[in-house]
Amino acid sequence: MHGLDLVNTAIFVGSALILIGIFSSLVATRFGAPLLLVFLVVGMLAGEDGPGGIEFGDYSTTYMVGMIALSVILFDGGLRTRLSVFRGVLRPSLLLATVGVLITAGVVGLAVWQVLGLSLSLALLLGAIVASTDAAAVFFLIRTGGMRLPGRVNGILEIESGTNDPISVFFVILLVKVIVSGGMPGWELVEEFAAEAVLGGALGFVGGWGAVSILNRVAMPGGLHPLFVVAGAIMISGFTTLVGGSGLLAVYIAGLVMANRPTRAYPSIVGFHDAMTWLCQIVMFLVLGLLVTPSRVMDYAPQGMFVAVVLTLIARPVAVWVCLWGAGFATREKLFISWVGLRGAVSIFLAAIPMLAGVPESQAFFNIAFFVVLFSMLVQGATLTSAGRWLGVALKATTRGVSRIEIDIPGQNELEIVGYPVTGESVILGLSRIPAWARLLMVVRKGQILDQAEAGGLRPGDYGYFLVPRERLNRFDTLFRESPEVARRLGVIFGELAIRGETRLSELEQFYDLSFEGHPPEMTLAEWATQRLGEKPVLDATLAIPGGKIVVRRLESGRIANLGLQLDQLLQVEPDERLLARLEEEADELRGLRSWARSVRRRLQT
């Protein structure tokens, strides 16, 4: 019975820690704290030095949990990456994720070798342990700080985050083998590195292609699709590692293949995998927190501080400058990418590998790595958004995240049904129509379901459902973001006419062939708009009229002073691919829109 009680206690404690981690993440979101740090602190509080008093020192379990969690997390990273992200940044990103890791590990290792007195192989191992970045923490801080990144900077960080972890794991395992075996010839190291990378990439591609083929050809109950994908991802990672390849690289490539091929039940797979990724992060961080003893960490604070300073101020900037040389990045962008190199759970996980292999000084490595992660989160994490604003790289977010609901179509892999809420500042309201490749299916308006003919176009407050090709979903998302500046600019581009509020309705009817039936001709446009709004006027309030719409543009003492008249006859140009690509990339929106507007006007004049 004692054994059963122990199991039940472990189940209760484990689930309680996960729930505490979830609620702690809500607090972290509110105050902008790095999620990794929150989960680690929860695990430390539950450990032997905290109120929980749990003694945990099982490095084998830690390694197993870490490998499974990293497999799921990296597969999710690939699953959400479109090949369009790679445009223009593939080469520098891969250099930063490979050569950059080696440079970072080398600079830290040489510094440790010279100052801390470790052997060169042990010093390089410590450098390799802390060489990888945790871009997931970076993007969480960017979002909570209300910031966004330019397209190229965002792309290079996203690709680096998905590919540098496998390189770091490989480098650490390789150095552990060298130390344990007493050394390997140089060419053997190169050959083993190349073999693992090639085998990992090949098996990842084959595994991803095979998983998509099975999903598209084999009829499964709906709930089994996501489970099949998660189990398949873990199996790809485990099998690739067993045959001598890089399992983590393979699982990332498999996710990348699935993201860029038509896949049945893709919306449900992504939704389920999102939950699994959160669970894996929480479990991994909690286990790593349990493994740490804070009192021992502080014994290595001087060494940890030295490694953290060298890593942050010397090694990472050197790697960034070398790898991004000639790639067209401005100095301020390279400074920001250098400061973004936060260290996370992977560094602590990698520090457990020498412990399992019995490498000398491995206990010191684990505590130093943990101190480096704390330093990175508390110093770099706390100043990330401030550094981005100061350098002019992280721009103020002018759009809100898109709220999208996806509905899988049985037997159809190319198209998806998606639904979006429409607000008064949605970009799509500034366009004449939706793109030709999308189809409006129905609109929910004030509790009523309307088809396309009944709806007569989208209005603020609507919820629209569309049939969209899956490869164009990211581009379609951009049209439903809230961006007052872009929406207003689009309205001006398409011929918005400035009208004074005291203009009489009769004058508008005469000059623009409009009809304000049921209202006296001597009524002013401001009076008509105030009457229609039925409440205190607000800027950008939109009123539909036959043949166009009227928008409130300026208020004086709470009264309408100026309005904008947008006529349907001036809004007959369909949004082209150049504009949609510009909006998707969110790169210099206003300048791009002005350039696009000039081409539109030239076409209208011909």
Token pair in block for residue 539: 């800027």
Which of 595, 544, 604, 551 is CA-nearest to residue 574? 604
Element (H, E) at 466: strand 463-469
Q: What residue ranges do the domains of the chain occupy?
A: 2-392, 405-489+573-605, 496-570
Element (H, E) at 14: helix 2-31
Which of 438, 446, 484, 477 is CA-nearest to residue 462? 446
Alpha-carbon span 329 to 321, nearest angstrom: 10
Token pair in block for residue 374: 């704390």
The overall average pLDDT reported for the chain is 77
Q: Per residue in 496-537, pLDDT tens?
A: 667 888 888 887 777 666 778 777 878 898 888 888 887 678
Token pair in block for residue 600: 């539109």
Strand partners, 504: 524
Q: Are 467 and 520 in contact (CB under 8 A)?
A: no
Q: Per residue in 350-389, pLDDT tens?
A: 888 888 888 887 888 888 988 898 888 888 877 877 888 8
What pLDDT shows up at residue 228?
Answer: 92
Q: 405-489+573-605: which CATH number, 1.10.10.10, 3.30.70.260, 3.30.750.24, 3.30.70.1450?
A: 3.30.70.1450
Instruction: Judge whether residue 203 has pLDDT over 70.
Output: yes
Instruction: Judge whether residue 159 has pLDDT over 50.
Output: yes
Which of 543, 540, 545, 522 is CA-nearest to residue 532? 543
Q: What is the mean pLDDT of residues 182-200?
A: 73
Rg, the chain, Cα only: 28
Alpha-carbon span 462 to 442, nearest angstrom: 10
Alpha-carbon span 410 to 389, nearest angstrom: 46
Q: Residue 436 contacts by C-beta under 8 Å, 6 or more apart in sequence?
A: 574
What pLDDT shows up at residue 587?
Answer: 36
pLDDT-derived band at 403, boundaries 50, 70, 90: low
Q: How many residues does the chain have?
A: 606
Alpha-carbon span 14 to 4, nearest angstrom: 15
Decide: helix, strand or coil at residue 137.
helix
Q: Are 317 and 89 in contact (CB under 8 A)?
A: no
CATH topology classification for 496-570? 3.30.465
Q: How far is CA 31 from the centre of its chain?
A: 19
Q: Per residue in 265-314, pLDDT tens?
A: 777 788 788 788 778 877 877 787 787 777 777 888 899 999 999 999 99
Q: Phi-psi category of 358—alpha, beta or left, where left has phi over 0 and alpha has psi -120 to 50?
A: left
Q: Residue 58 contacts by C-beta under 8 Å, 6 or more apart in sequence?
A: none
Which of 204, 191, 183, 188 is CA-nearest to residue 246? 204
pLDDT-derived band at 192, boundaries 50, 70, 90: confident
Q: What CATH class does 2-392 carry?
A: mainly alpha
pLDDT-derived band at 136, boundaries 50, 70, 90: low
Q: What is the mean pLDDT of residues 171-200?
A: 77
Is 577 or 472 the better-scoring residue by pLDDT?
A: 472
Residue 404: is it exposed, middle or buried by C-beta count within 10 angstroms (0-12/13-18/19+)? middle
- Dihedral Cα 34, 35, 36, 38, nearest 10 deg: 90
Q: What is the mean pLDDT of residues 187-209?
A: 83
Q: Are 279 and 286 in contact (CB under 8 A)?
A: no
Strand partners, 415: 469
Token pair in block for residue 314: 């010397």
In Å, what is the CA distance from 290 to each residue of 245, 280, 358, 527? 30, 15, 20, 67
Q: What are phi and psi of 437, to 5 degrees?
A: -85, 0
Query: Do the domains 405-489+573-605 and 2-392 match in fold?
Result: no
